Amino acid sequence: MSGYLLNRLGQALFVLWAAFTISFVLLQAMPGDAILIKFQNPELGLNPQQIADIRASYAADSAIWVQYIQTIGRFLTGNFGYSVQVGVPVSTMLAAHLPATLKLASLGFLLAAVFAVVIAFVSSLTPFAWLRGAIQSVPSLFISIPTFWLGIMLIQIFSFRLKLVPVINPGPWQELILPVFTLAVPISAPLAQVLVRNIDDVLTRPFVAVARAKGATRQWVLWRHVAKNALLPTLTIAGVLFGELIAGAVVTETVFGLNGIGGLTGRAVGSQDAAVLQAIVVFSALAFVTINLIVDLLFPVLDPRLRTKAGATA
């Protein structure tokens, strides 16, 4: 087990390093850079000599491999550098933007799970086939709506027409209502589909028939067996959903003007703020490998069948 753990840890470190390197190369290859974008702005009225001086002061034109070594060195010592666009240390920016995204993402995921459970159970328990069909197609609908469009529509309807929730200057929890809903919609769809499939599976198993024959209600069977069975697949997709949550956060935060990592990412790409982007990539890769590592390690614990063939998951 410890050899397996070490191996997985080594692989995780490799993934981190490779994500860092790929993003570094991508950022270097882009046309222009953060300094040019910020200071070539005609509103600032800088002449070419001044811009050249600024570039020199940032050592922006030193050899690429020197910059690579320096950046890796800085990251290893926990120094993420300065944002060129905003002029604030990257660590300060991340600290300022992380709480909003964590709140949004965790609540979004929670609400998505609630949606999924409701959809799955209602569709399984309803006696009418047409209703079941209708409810089971809700997830398909949910993943067919562009997130930004949903957000804009929700603002128009709930904030501006019905005036139920302000989007400007809202309270700390008020500001989360519409964004969390917007984010939960696309995330809930795959979860709901997993659950629906599990319920279908469980209901066809022989023990269900036995339990029913012994007088157990359909609901009781569902609760008892599905709850247990739903945990595993939810864990498996947590790693994948993480990427979705980040992408969803970029759009949601942009639409609602929330001050989170997503919005920061969008702006940083626009201004090619390399230091900020590099830090975001490293953090998201870190989160990705951590979640996957935990899932991989938890799987054998939760599912005895897998104990003998650990590592069968890709």
Partner 1 sequence: MTTKLKRLALTLATISASGLFLPGAFASEPVKGGTLIYLEQQAHTNLYPPAGGFYPNGGILNQITDKLTYQNPKTLEIEPWIAESWTVNADATEYTFKIRPGVTFSDGTPLDAAAVAKNYDVFGLGNKALKQPVSEVINNYERSEVVDPQTVKFFFKKPSPGFLQGTSVIGSGLVAASTLALPFEQLGDATKIIGSGPFVVDSETIGKELNLKAREEYAWGPAKLEHQGRAYLDGIKYIITGEDSVRIGALLAGQADFIRQVQAYDEKQVEAQDYQIYAPSTRGVNNSVVFRPDNPLVADVRVRKALLHATDAKEIVTTLFSANYPQATSIIASTALGYRDISAKLAFDPEKAKALLEEAGWTVGANGLRQKDGKELVLTAYESLPQPQNKETLQLVAQQWGKLGVKLTVLAGDSGSRVVDDLDPLKTPVSPAMVGRADPDVIKSQYYPKNRDVLRQKGGQSDKVQSFADDKLNGLLEALTAEPDREKRFAIAGEVQDYVIDQAYAIPIFEEPQAFAGAPYVQGIAFESVGRPSFYSTWLAEH
Partner 2 sequence: MTTFDTIQDDAIASRHGQRAGGRFSLPHFVRRLPVGLALSWLVLAIAFLWAVAPWLFTSYNPLEGVGGEQLRRPDASHLLGTDALGRDLYARIVYGAVHSLTGAFVAVALGLVVGTTIGVIAGSVRRRVDDAIMRLVDVLLSIPPLMLSLSIIILLGFGTVNAAVAVGVTSVARFARLSRSEVVRVRRSDYVEAAFGSGGTFAAVLWRHVLPNSLTSVLAIAALQFGSAVLQISTLGFLGYGAPPPTPEWGLLIAEGRNYISTAWWLTTAPGVIVVLVVLAANRVSQSFGKVAA
**Footprint of partner 2 on this chain (CB under 8 A)?**
11, 14-16, 18-19, 22-23, 26-27, 29-31, 133, 137, 140-141, 143-149, 152-153, 156, 160, 186, 189-190, 193-194, 197, 233, 236-237, 239-241, 243-244, 246-248, 250-251, 254, 265-266, 269-270, 272, 277, 280-281, 284-285, 288-289, 292, 314
**Are 246 and 183 within 8 A, CB to CB?**
no
Distance of alpha carbon 225 from alpha carbon 211, whole angstroms: 11
Nearest distance from residue 122's CB to partner 2, in Å? 19
**Which residues, listed in sequence order, are joined to residue 82 by a DSSP beta bridge?**
89
Phi then psi for residue 184, to 5 deg, are -70, -30
Q: CA 270, 272, 276 angle in degrees (round to 5)? A: 105
Distance of alpha carbon 292 from alpha carbon 136, whole angstroms: 29
Nearest distance from residue 179's CB to partner 2, in Å? 15
Distance of alpha carbon 10 from alpha carbon 288, whole angstroms: 15
Q: Where are the beta strands (DSSP E) in 139-295?
A: none
Q: Which does 281 bind (CB under 5 to 8 A by kind): partner 1, partner 2, none?
A: partner 2
Distance of alpha carbon 258 from alpha carbon 85, whole angstroms: 19
What does the block give as tokens for 300? Answer: 């054998």
Q: Which does 278 bind (CB under 5 to 8 A by kind): partner 2, partner 1, none?
A: none
- Placement of tokens 């709901």 in the chain: 192
CB proximity list for 171: less than 8 A, separation 6 or greater: none
- Which one of 20, 24, 80, 82 is in contact with partner 1 (CB under 8 A)? 82
Distance of alpha carbon 197 from alpha carbon 202, whole angstroms: 9
Piece in contact with partner 1 (CB under 8 A), picked from 13-21, 49-57, 196-204, 226-234: 49-57
Residues from 268 through 307 that contact partner 1 (CB under 8 A): 269-272
- Which one of 19, 38, 194, 261 is in contact with partner 1 (CB under 8 A)? 38
- Which one of 60, 96, 111, 237 is in contact with partner 1 (CB under 8 A)? 96
Which of 33/244 has CB closer to partner 1?
33
What does the block give as tokens for 119? Answer: 């959809």
At residue 138, what is the residue type? V
DSSP 59: T
Residue 152 binds to partner 1 (criterion: CB under 8 A): yes
- Which one of 12, 19, 90, 93 is in contact with partner 1 (CB under 8 A)? 93
Residues from 237 through 256 that contact partner 1 (CB under 8 A): 254-255
Which of 29/213 has CB closer to partner 1?
29
Q: Which does 186 bind (CB under 5 to 8 A by kind): partner 1, partner 2, none?
A: partner 2
DSSP 82: B
Q: Would you tell me which residues interact with partner 1 (CB under 8 A)?
A: 30-33, 36-38, 40-48, 50, 53-54, 57, 82, 84-88, 93, 96, 152, 155-156, 159-160, 163, 166-169, 254-255, 257-259, 263-264, 267, 269-272
